[in-house]
Amino acid sequence: MLTLKKPLKPIVIYKNAWLLEAPALQLLAEEFGTPLFVFWEERLWQNVAELKEGLGLLESNFRLFYACKANANLSILRTLLEAGLDLEVNSVGELWKGLKAGYKPQQIIFNGVGKSERELKEAILQGIHCINVDSLSELMDIVHIASRYRKDVPIALRLVPEIKDGGLEGLETGHSQTKFGLPPSQLPEICKVLKDHPYVHLSGLHTHVGSQLSNPVSYRLALERLLGLRKELEKALKTEIKHLNLGGGLPVEYRHEAYPQKAPCPGPDKSFAQSFGPKEMALVLKDVVPQDIVLYFEPGRRLVGNTAFLLTRVVRKKTISARTAPWLILDAGFNVLLEALSYRWYFHLIAAERPQAPHNTGYFVAGPLCDGGDIFPIPHTNCPFYHRLLPENVEEGELLAFLDTGAYTLEQMTYYNGRLPAAAVLIDRKGQIRLIRKRETSQALWANDL
């Protein structure tokens, strides 16, 4: 904990984008080094409030299970627990982290395409709230474990809704060209297994259309799909299905200012815009939700995405061709922001110490890794250039910030090229700085090598 005489006050620079004043940024960079994730606790609470308020419009019961794949840092998990959220995990590792953070097994849902028998056994013996079953073969394992240990196991079936939505192709998970879920055609076989089983009970149905969704109507279509199947299953199994789980997917605004007309490159693709929020989702669902159902949601990105920025320093500036823009090489590459490579994700980049200066000069921006893919282009289908817009005269040593880097970042860092993952600090509600992820030492590079 860094005790400051004057509490830090984040400043909101555009709609949802926020930053700290230059002296505070310089202090953080000095004290903790770069690259450094800077989180804002107040924003996390605001996001929870936005979600709960929006879903209040449903006028029916709902439960929120935070999808901790988005960010499973213990401090973040604990804050969300305090804010009243339950938890969605995707592996026994995330289950352990959730328990360590203080979540009770009864608050935890287990999703995933590849849960091993060992993982299922652990989840069942812990007595978690629900396992979302992804395949017939997984169901058979659950049946064996439940019978062997005489443990009641509530399950939900993860169904393929055949809906195409999601920021990018890799984030679409709701149709049958993806690896996720059970096709409704397998339900008769599943019913045979579940009928009158003494330990495995169908308590819900689950679906997840995708991440960074573009249209709230996708939720309504998914719910309608589940409602249709619910009737069939209730009849076949003579049971009552109590919850319907619509997964995650609410989008985050990654684009900020509009790129000026005469910029060397158009702005990022519309997939990076936040086209709707929890309110719009609730409004399209409202008329379709039956009163005897509890709706479950598994928000990840929307809760944590805009709670952090990544502070990074320009290590080198160089010119390769006098006819093109100069290159800025940062101390953060895809070892810290893996999405930049895997999805060509767009994180808005600004000159952190002078955010109000006109960002009107094109630069090629890259990370330090020995890999031509370690670059930060503007993902736009019609754009042949990789320019970023920053102020004039960005020089070595200047601090830059990638905004909205709270989701799917800390969790995906690697040690590639012998570079240590970034540390993270949190500005708490009193304006004090707390280190929430230590900077690792060189030991980490060989700790597991024999």
Applying CB under 6 A, the residues found at the interface with ligand LLP are 67, 70, 88, 111, 171, 173, 208, 211, 247-250, 298-302, 339, 343, 408
CB of 111 to ligand LLP, least distance (A): 4
Query: What SS3 state is found at 182?
Result: strand
Pairing between strand 294-297 and 308-318? unpaired
One-letter identity of residue 65: F
Neighbours of 171 (CB within 10 A): 19
* Residue the block writes with tokens 């304006």: 431
> Closest CB to ligand LLP among 97 and 387?
97
Query: What SS3 state is found at 95?
Result: helix
> Closest CB to ligand LLP among 359 and 380?
380
Neighbours of 449 (CB within 10 A): 5
CB of 306 to ligand LLP, least distance (A): 12
CB of 429 to ligand LLP, least distance (A): 24
CB of 372 to ligand LLP, least distance (A): 21
> Closest CB to ligand LLP among 276 and 408?
408
Task: Label residues 122-136 b or e (16+ Cβ within 10 Å = b).
Answer: bbbebebbbbbbbbe
Q: Give the Cα separation of 121 and 147 in Å (integer).
A: 11
> Closest CB to ligand LLP among 302 and 437?
302
CB of 271 to ligand LLP, least distance (A): 11
> Closest CB to ligand LLP among 18 and 65?
65
Q: Give the Cα separation of 414 and 420 in Å (integer).
A: 8
Query: What SS3 state is found at 415?
Result: coil
Q: Give the Cα separation of 151 and 145 in Å (integer).
A: 8
What angle is formed at CA 280 by the lines to CA 277 and CA 281, rounded to 5 degrees? 85
> Closest CB to ligand LLP among 79 and 173?
173
CB of 17 within 8 A of CB of 402?
no
CB of 258 to ligand LLP, least distance (A): 24
Q: What is the DSSP letter of 60?
A: S
Neighbours of 317 (CB within 10 A): 16
CB of 286 to ligand LLP, least distance (A): 20
Those residues whose C-beta lies under 8 Å from the C-beta of residue 281, and which sit 6 or more positions away, are 54, 55, 216, 219, 250
CB of 213 to ligand LLP, least distance (A): 7
> Closest CB to ligand LLP among 331 and 339?
339
> Closest CB to ligand LLP among 247 and 278?
247
